[in-house]
A and B are shown apart, each in its own frame.
Chain A
Amino acid sequence: MPSQRDIKRRKLSVESTKQITRTMEMVATAKIRHATERIAAATPYSEAMVKTLSGVAAHSLSVEHPLLEEHEDKKAAIAIVVVSDRGLAGGFNSNVFRQVEKYRAKNDAAGIKTNVIVCGKKGASYFHYRRLEPLMVFRDMSADPTIQEAREISSYVRSSFLDHAVDEVVIFYNHARNAADQDLREEVILPVQADALKASEDESGEAEIAADTSFEPSSEEVLDRLLPAYVETVVYHALIDSAAAEQGARRKAMKSATDNATEMIETLDRLYNRVRQGAITTEITEIVGGAAALEE
């Protein structure tokens, strides 16, 4: 049986942990709002972009563009890994890493070399530990990703892809389904998946652009402008989506930590009371026993 003092000390420690996790939970809740607002601000652009792009793709029936072209004989791939700078967010980062490892193993088996681009400190240390030097690393930006970050990444992968230095680019990130749940996503961004565009089109319904739309200067040149911007949009969207998901995951993790702490404090309280009562009972028995011994 632990002593009263031990239990009391333990309870104090749990209480202060609870205070921290509760604060973190509230901070994350506040940040979720900011993150979702940012997604809302970026949505009009990406929606209009997907709409036009699929319209152009549907128009020029035999679309040919180096960014759409599937490379034969694949040799190298880039995985863009979007994770967080800080931990304490449950399985947020490890889920992504597991998926990336699967992808790398698959590529290794096919004789494809996989390089990584990392966004988030946790990713940098993860790959450093595994002696895989990333092509690019972005730190201290996971909570507030910028369009600059997305542009740097997309211009790098685009030029590598056009030079045939890389044959496939895939992005891994957490999608914020809602404030509490995240879905892991793995999307091929290069070559641009024209079929996927058409598919997303069907879901949104009225997106089809008018059949008699004309393109200036020409549909090829419009496409030439659109595709790079599309890649950039996909990357930017993944970054801000992941930022929202991170806060969501952290809030959820901290909420359950707080709940667990509350439960533990209750248990410790009960244990403490029982020990105290036990001590009192022992004392009384001793006194009664002592008095009885004197009488005899």
Chain B
Amino acid sequence: MLQCEIVTPERKLYSDEVNFVVIPASEGEMGIYAKHEPVVTTLKSGTVRVTEAEGQEPVRYIVAGGYAQIEANRVIVLADHAAALQELDETAIKVHIDDLKEKMADLKDDDPNRAFIEDEVKWNQVLLEQTR
């Protein structure tokens, strides 16, 4: 069996024994079964698909940034941002993006907050793309 964990700096999103995992590695998607060769890879924005048991529908998690560490019987996804697809709501994200953009328009160019909000906008746009 393969132990799969999806974590962000704030919390552990997922941790369980699984059969198969697909991660959006920066060089292209990687499918991982148990006994994979050890790899550390950076991630691009995309969806992690976790298949818990053979033949089951995969559970999807959207991730952005970060990297994944793969060992023989363990996959750890350390993402800057991550969210479970089923918990997302497209309209709420759109509203949130508009809010952020509005906030950004009020800021000066050298405001320390700026980089953070830009990052947040990017992440929400990733979410929007992936939910479609």
A-B contact count (CB 8 A): 96
Min CB distance, B60 to chain A, in Å?
20
Measured in the bound complex, the distance between the Cα atoms of B9 and A86 in whole Å is 26
**Looking at the complex, which of B47-55, B85-93, B110-118 is the stretch in contact with chain A?**
B110-118
- B38 lies within 8 A of A214 (CB): yes
Q: Mark B22-62, 1 if CB is under 8 A from A, else 0.
A: 00011100000000011111100000000000000000000
- A221 lies within 8 A of B38 (CB): no
- A151 lies within 8 A of B10 (CB): no
**Looking at the complex, which of B64-72, B101-109, B124-132 is the stretch in contact with chain A?**
B64-72
- A212 lies within 8 A of B7 (CB): no
Contacts of B11 in A (CB 8 A): 41-42
Q: Size band of the A side of the interface?
A: 35 or more
- A151 lies within 8 A of B41 (CB): no
Contacts of B25 in A (CB 8 A): 216
- A212 lies within 8 A of B42 (CB): no
Task: Give chain A's interface secondary structure class.
Answer: helix
Contacts of B42 in A (CB 8 A): 216-217, 221-222, 225
Contacts of A120 in B (CB 8 A): none
Within 8 Å of chain B (Cβ to Cβ): is A236? yes
Kindly identify which residue among B7, B9, B71, B78 contacts A150, using a CB–CB cutoff of 8 Å: B9
Closest partner residue, chain A, to B81 (CB atom): A147
Residue positions of B touching A, CB distance < 8 A: 5, 7-12, 15, 25-27, 37-42, 65-67, 69, 71-72, 76, 78, 80, 112-113, 115-116, 119-120
